[in-house]
Each structure stands twice: as structure tokens, then as C-alpha cells.
Structure 1
Amino acid sequence: MKKKQIQQFILSFVIALVIYGALMFAMSAGILDNYWSGILIMACINVVLATSLNLASGYLGQLTLGHAGFMSVGAYVSAILSIYFQMPFIVSLIVGAIAACIIGILIGIPTLRLKGDYLCIITLAFNEIIRVIMLNLNITNGAKGLMGIPMNTDFTTGFMSVAVTIYVIYSIVKSRHGRAIISIREDETASELAGIPTAYYKILAFAISAFFAGLAGGLYAHYMGMLVPKTFDYNKSVEILVMVVLGGLGNLKGSVIAAIVMTILPEYLRAFSEYRMLLYAVVLIAAMIMKEKNVMPRIKAKFAKKRHEEVSEQ
């Protein structure tokens, strides 16, 4: 690891500790009540989902609509292990994530041969297949919902999961494996001619993405205390994809910000309960228009130029 990378890692670690300490202090001091503490936990879960999907859709360039299916596998496996086998919370989370990873590999092998609209459709179909399976299994209690799940997910667990997810995905992206994945997104044919095993890297990115989706599912299950198959339908997959697209495909920081905003924003709009979803849709459309017209990059460049001028004057 280079000196610059070590410095960036230490700085990121310190910033994460400061944010965690500040939020924990706010919760313990009563500044953030239980309601907003719960919103923060959901924000952590959504960040894990968005950043993991960004690996497959943003860096690999394969738009998929099956992320909620992997989330449901992790959620149900983790919940069943906790209820029926009394496994420790962390163990059930890891096993649930591994189960989602295995399903991701099994689905990825045939589907990643496809591209574009065809890949979206086939992953959406697999999402619905997984949901229907969960709906008809006795062990999942079908449409009635799986209840009695230990509510072990707290802010600390959620925050640590976010930190691990971001660190792993960032490390992959900055490694030679990440460069191979990005090269496939840019030109798959040229990557193959350069000797890059494209099939291997596509499945690898898909499997890692599914693993963290399963982890998010386990966190969700142990936060809600119950699971209903309807939660993991195609709408959930679209919601996660919107977070990724809004934050920027191939932009890890953007995914984090978009996931947090899209989790907190609907809660602020509850004061306008009758028009909440309409306002939410308008905000999303406005954000996408700004992104399409490169408004945010221009604002960012403007601030960067101003900061450079201030440094030059000093």
C-alpha cells in the first residue's frame, strides 16, 4: 500500500469515527429520538444496498433489477437461522450473505451472457421467481410473514456494515481486479482481446454485489422483526437502482449520499402527507434533470476553482 493510500485510509477512518461518535452522542443525549435512530439504521441498510449494486451496475456496467431478490435471500436465511436454530446474530448475518452470494453466482452464470435491456428483464424475472418461492415455502410462513425475528440490528451494527462494505468495494475498485472490471464496462471486446477473463470478473462482481445485498437483507430482517415477501418485489429493486443512478454510476460517494437522502427525504415530506409521494417524485425528477445537465459537476468545479484561487492567494 502506497503512502498516499495509507494517509487516505487513516483520514477516512478518523472521519468515520468522528461521524459515528457524533451520532452516538446525539442518540444518547436525546437529540435524536428512537424514531430518527431507526431512520439512521434504515439509511445504513440502504447505503449497503446502493454501494453493492454500484459494483455490478456502475463499475461493471451491467444494469440489473434483481438486487431485492438477493436481499430477500439474505433476510430469510438469516432470520430462519436465528428463529429455528438460535444461531448468533453475526453468524446468521454472514451465512445469509453467503447464501445470497451463492444464488448470485448461480443466477450470474447464465444471465451475464446477456446485455442491456435483456439483462434487466431476466434479472427482474429472477427477482420475481425468488419472491414467489419465498411466498410458497412453509418455513417462511408464506404471505402471512415470518415473525418473531430477534431485533438485534442497532446503529452500531449498521454503521460497521456500511464501513466494511465501502472499504471492500473501494479496495476492489482500486485494485487490478477493479481496473479489469472497469475495462469490461468500457469495452468488453477489447478486454477479451487484452487477455482479461471477462466471464470470471463479471461473475465475481455480481457475486460480491449479491453478498452485500444479502448482508443488508439480514440487517433489515433483524431490525424489522418480521418479513413479508411483498417487501422484496421489483419496486424495491427499482428503488435501489434509482439510488445508484441518482448518485452516479461508478461513483461510490454519490451512492452513499443518494441512499441517505432518499431514506431521509420521505420522512421530511410526511408533513405534506397528502402530497408526499408526489413531492418525492418531483424532487427525484428534478435531481435527475440536474444530473443529466451536469449542474452538480459544474457547481463542484466552481467550488474547486474558488478553493484553488484561495490557496494561490495565500
Structure 2
Amino acid sequence: MRTASAVSGSGSPSGVPASLRGILPVLVAVPALLVLDWLLSNSPFANYLLSIMAVNIILAVSLNIVNGMTGQFSIGHAGFMAVGAYLAGVTSLALKDVALSFLPVAVSDQVFLVVALLVGGISAALAGFLVGLPSLRLRGDYLAIVTLGFGEIIRVAVTNTEAFGRALGLSGIPQTSSVAMVGFWVFLVVLVARRIAGSSHGRSLWAIREDEVAAEAMGVNTTGYKVRAFVISSFFAGVAGGLFAHFVPIINPGSFTFVKSMEIVVMVVLGGLGSTTGAIVAAVFLTLLPEALRSAFSAFGSESNLAQQVDQIRMPVYGLLLVVLMLSRPQGLFGTKELWEVIPRWIPRRRKGM
């Protein structure tokens, strides 16, 4: 018997044609991001702050695929970010004097930016595959040590490579990133993470997280699934690095240290291991926290060493947040649930008869 949706030709009870359901989020997101970019075009600080926030969201959501959904413990995410940042930057510098005559300059710049981001992301994914294939047979602390070592190797390598500017960093990269571009990649990583979580691949990742031995006994190729998750996570970390390289004046090894990796881990743990929206909320909060600290310091008239003071107090604040969180709510703010699953529980219900 034919259903009502089939009779109406919509292909779904919601009235959305089946051919559009896959691309409907994109059709909604792209115009909204373009409008937001236009509204913020005259506010450089708001553009910069939103770009930093978006990069942190991409990093946190992508790491959540490995640390949250798969239950592994990677602490070298800044290394993959560095791979994407430097290779995307070098690609943009190589294409700097190239122009697509049949396109407007602004469109041509965005085309080259996307090419550079894909180069950075694919390079980071390849690095993730090379690191993940042998190391993801390990578990727990051993995997953490391997990823930590990879991050330090990348940092030392770029520090001693002339093509990457050594310790002084890489400058002159075209500043072609925009709020619309970083927002699109935020939308994409969230969409991918949610699609993975709800798919058969996601169920395999959750099974590995809960009991890897039992999952393997049930026929799940645990190493294969972990490597795939690691590659996807590394790809988006590389894209985040590429975006970062295109809105900061200079990138240097100091931007991709172990401290940066731990910041991303804190975001994932604070939001809840396995919760995509939890990672987003934590990334937004921990991005705005230093700005709030700067405002607090400036209110006391301390302007000269403001950045240094904020950097000194930021990590102790992060550590205190983690201690409080682990004592009060070890599973993080949302646990493995999403925002829309948690909020209804926080809303008080009316008693019957009132």
C-alpha cells in the first residue's frame, strides 16, 4: 500500500523531496553564512574572534570523533593542524601570483583558498593514516604517547625547515579567509560527525569505545574503523590549520605546541566525550574565556603585559575547570548526549493540577 508521502510525491513525511534531503542543510547554511559575513564585514575584531572560535570548533568536533566516539586517547591534534597550516600556506604562496582571468578576483581567491585547504587537509589525513595504521593497534596511554611524539616531531621539523620559515614562521600568506568560509567548514565537520554517529560505521565506533574486545569478537574490524576515524579527524584538523593560516599574519611553531593539543582535549572532555554539541559549546566557552580575562585585566588598567598575563592564567584556569568537572560530573557537561537531548531535562515540569 502506498503511503501519503509517496502519493504526494514528496518522498518523505516532512514534504521534502528525497533528492533534496541530502543537500538541504547546505542550501540553508550557505546563504545564512554569506549574510553573516556581510553583516560583519566592517568589524575586523568580530571577524577574527569568530574565525578563532570556528577553528577551535572544527578541532574539537574532529578530535571528538577519535577521543569521544571511538574511545581512543590522542593528544597530538595540534601536529595535524600544523601539517595542514604549513602545507596550505605554502600552496597559497605558490598560487599567489596566479589568476583565473575568467572569474572575478574575489571568487578566484576563494577558489585558490579551497584548493589550499584541500591540500592541507589531505596532507594531514595522509599523516594521520601513516601514524594511525601502526599506532592504533595500541591502546590507552601507549597511543597517547605515540600521538604526543608525532606532534613534537612535526613542531621540531617545521622549526628546522627553511621552506617553512624555521622558528621565525611563515609569513606573506594571502589573508583570504572569511567568516563564511570558516563557518562552512564548521557546518561540514558537524554534519559529518552527526552522520557518522548515526550510521553503521558510527555504531561500530561506539562498540569499540564501550568494549573493544567484545566488538572484535563480534566481527568488527577494530583497527580498520579506528584508522578511518583517525584519518577523518586528521583531515579536518588539517583544514582547521589551513583556515588558521589564512587569517593570522604569521604562523610559527609556537602556535602548534603540546599546549594547543591539550586545549583541544580539554574542550572535548569539558563538553562530554562523544557529544558533538558538547564539543561545540566547550570550544565556544574556552575561546571566549581568554577574551573575558583580557577585559577583566584591562578594567584594572593593566595594558602593558596583558597578553602575557592572560596566557599565564589561562592554563591554570583550564586545569581548575577540569578538576571541578571531574569531581562533579566526570562524563562532561553533556556526556554522550546532544544538546537537544539534555535541555528538556533542565526545564522544570508543571505539576498536575496546577
TM-score range for the pair, normalised by the shorter chain length: 0.7 to 0.9
Deviation per CA, 1:206-254, whole angstroms, max 9, x where unpaired?
Answer: 0000000000000000111321012111111011111111111001001
Q: CA RMSD in A?
A: 3.4
In the alignment, the residues of structure 2 paired with residue 40 and residue 63 of structure 1 have an alpha-carbon distance, to the nearest angstrom, of 28
Q: Is the 8 A contact 1:145 1:226 kept in 2?
A: yes
Is the radius of gyration larger for structure 1 or structure 2?
Answer: 2
The more displaced of 9-18 and 220-229 is: 9-18
Structure 1 residue aligned with 2:150? 126
**Structure 1: which 5+ residue stretches go unaligned?**
none
Aligned CA distance change for structure 1 residues 18 and 269 (closer, same or farther; 3 Å): farther
Q: CA deviation at 1:109?
A: 1.1
Structure 2 residue 324 is the aligned partner of structure 1 residue 289: yes
Structure 2 residue 305 is the aligned partner of structure 1 residue 278: no
Q: CA deviation at 1:52?
A: 0.1
Higher relative CO (CA 8 A, sep ≥ 6), structure 1 or 2?
A: 1
Structure 2 residue 166 is the aligned partner of structure 1 residue 142: yes
In structure 2, which of residues 141, 151, 162 is the aligned counterpart of residue 117 of structure 1? 141
Aligned CA distance change for structure 1 residues 257 and 302 (closer, same or farther; 3 Å): closer
In the alignment, the residues of structure 2 paired with residue 11 and residue 313 of structure 1 have an alpha-carbon distance, to the nearest angstrom, of 43
Residue type of the partner of 1:304? P
Q: CA deviation at 1:281?
A: 3.5
In the alignment, the residues of structure 1 paired with residue 201 and residue 180 of structure 2 have an alpha-carbon distance, to the nearest angstrom, of 30
Residue type of the partner of 1:289? V
Residue type of the partner of 1:91? V
In structure 1, which of residues 228, 247, 263 is the aligned counterpart of residue 252 of structure 2? 228
Q: Is the 8 A contact 1:246 1:288 kept in 2?
A: no
Structure 1 residue aligned with 2:54? 44
Structure 1 residue aligned with 2:349? 309
In structure 2, which of residues 234, 241, 246 is the aligned counterpart of residue 210 of structure 1? 234
In the alignment, the residues of structure 2 paired with residue 305 and residue 251 of structure 1 have an alpha-carbon distance, to the nearest angstrom, of 16
Identity %: 38
Structure 1 residue aligned with 2:102? none
Residue type of the partner of 1:309? R
**Structure 2: which 5+ residue stretches go unaligned?**
1-10, 99-111, 298-305
Residue type of the partner of 1:66? G
In the alignment, the residues of structure 1 paired with residue 322 and residue 187 of structure 2 have an alpha-carbon distance, to the nearest angstrom, of 26
Aligned CA distance change for structure 1 residues 199 and 40 (closer, same or farther; 3 Å): same
The correspondence of residues 73-222 of structure 1 with structure 2, limited to 5 A, is: 73-86=83-96, 88-222=112-246
Higher normalized helix content (fraction of residues): 1
Q: Is the 8 A contact 2:81 2:241 kept in 1?
A: yes
Structure 1 residue aligned with 2:301? none
Q: CA deviation at 1:131?
A: 0.9
In the alignment, the residues of structure 1 paired with residue 278 and residue 189 of structure 2 have an alpha-carbon distance, to the nearest angstrom, of 15
Aligned length: 310
Q: CA deviation at 1:85?
A: 3.9
In the alignment, the residues of structure 2 paired with residue 301 and residue 215 of structure 1 have an alpha-carbon distance, to the nearest angstrom, of 30
Q: Is the 8 A contact 1:63 1:116 kept in 2?
A: yes
In structure 2, which of residues 65, 70, 80 is the aligned counterpart of residue 70 of structure 1? 80
Q: What is the TM-score of this pair, normalised by structure 1?
A: 0.87
In the alignment, the residues of structure 1 paired with residue 241 and residue 133 of structure 2 have an alpha-carbon distance, to the nearest angstrom, of 22
Q: Is the 8 A contact 1:94 1:215 kept in 2?
A: yes
In the alignment, the residues of structure 1 paired with residue 157 and residue 343 of structure 2 have an alpha-carbon distance, to the nearest angstrom, of 51
